[in-house]
Structure formats: structure tokens, C-alpha cells
Amino acid sequence: MRDGFDRASTNRIAAQAGVSIGSLYQYFPSKEALVMAVAERHNRDLMNIVRRALAEVAAAPVRTGVRTLVAAAITAHAHDPALHRVLSEQTPRTGPLAGLEPFNREAHALLRAYLEDHRDELRATDLDLAAFVCMTSIEALTHTAVLYRPDVLEGPAREPLADEATQLVLGYLLPS
């Protein structure tokens, strides 16, 4: 039964970190604060990858930009996958840890801004909805692939999944 957050008891965390629980509680007022600190650092790392990628493609057309964004999503998910899995699958959206939501919000807002800058290349009109569809699809594909299907990340083609995800999103965004 116990897994994720609950497997990480404060005593175990302290032992693993090589300090006593007493010391641990001098730096973090509660287990919740400790988890928040870990989660926020992780999310900051991820957002840096996302922001850098979006800045990099800001001037690039959607047709080539999406590929870069997909690659960035894979890179982001490959960054400490075990931690990412626990945080994304076990963080309650309600309750004291709900503050992690802004990460998704910002990524969504940034992607929407990029799409709006390139709206003349796109088929869709509701760019908020389009950004939601792209974000969710890319996130799910890379997330699932990194955690459960590492085989599709390095196949006969160099990166089959990245190619497919790019196809998926471009076929959706661009006019046919």
C-alpha cells in the first residue's frame, strides 16, 4: 500500500540525507514544507527547460518549432523521472499541495502566446483550446513514454516517438 509520499517517512528521509530528523526539522518546519521545496525546485527546473525552448522557437514557424518543443518536453521528462512520476501522479490537486498547479498554467500560457504570435499559420481559431490540446497531448505522450515505454524513445528511427508526436501536433495545428 505505502508508496510515493508515504513511503518517504521523515525518519527515512533524514537517514537517507545523512542527517538526524532533529536537524531536518531545523530547516523544514514540516514534512509538507519539505515536499513543497522539493516539488518547487523540480518544477523550476522543468519550467526553465520549457521557457528556454519556447524562447528559442519564438521566431521560428510552427512547422519547425513544434519539433523543438517536443524535444524539450522529452528532455524535461527525462530529468529525474522517478521524482517526476511521484510528483505528477501523487500530488493531490486539492489540499495543502495544490500550489503546484501554476506550473501547468504558466506552460499553457506560454504555449498559447507562441501560437497567437503565429496565428496566421494555423487552422484553429480558439487558440486557448488549441494550446490545451497540444500541451496535454505532448505531455501525456512524453510522460507515458519516458515512464512506461522507454522502447519508443530509441527505436529503428532515431526517435520514433518524437517524430510521431510532432506529426500529431502539426497535423492538428496546420491547415491541411
Partner DNA sequence: CCAGAATATGAGCGATCGCTCGTGTTCCAT
Partner DNA sequence: ATGGAACACGAGCGATCGCTCATATTCTGG
- Using CA atoms of 28, 32, 37, 39 in order, give the dihedral in degrees to the nearest 10: 160
Q: Does 31 bind DNA (CB under 7 A)?
A: yes
Return the number of the residue (94 or 125) whose C-beta is nearest DNA.
94
Cell numbers for 50, please give them.
520549457
Q: How far is the CB of 21 from DNA (least distance, A)?
A: 4
**Nearest approach, Cβ of residue 1 and its own copies (Å):** 6
Cα 124 to Cα 42, 65, 173: the distances in Å are 33, 17, 7
**Binding status of residue 90 toward DNA by CB under 7 A:** no
Under rule CB under 7 A, residue 26 binds DNA = yes
52-90: burial string, b at 16+ Cβ within 10 Å, e else = ebbeebeeeebeebbbebbbbbbbbbeeeeeebbbbbee
Name the residue nearer to DNA (CB basis): 19 or 55: 19
Cα dihedral 86/87/88/94 (nearest 10): 120
37 touches DNA by CB under 7 A: no
Q: Which does 172 bind (CB under 5 to 8 A by kind): its own copies, DNA, none?
A: its own copies
Residues at the site binding its own copies, with contacts judged by CB under 8 A = 1, 3-6, 31-32, 35, 89-90, 92-96, 126, 129-130, 132-133, 136-137, 139-141, 144, 147-149, 152, 160-161, 164-165, 167-168, 171-172, 176
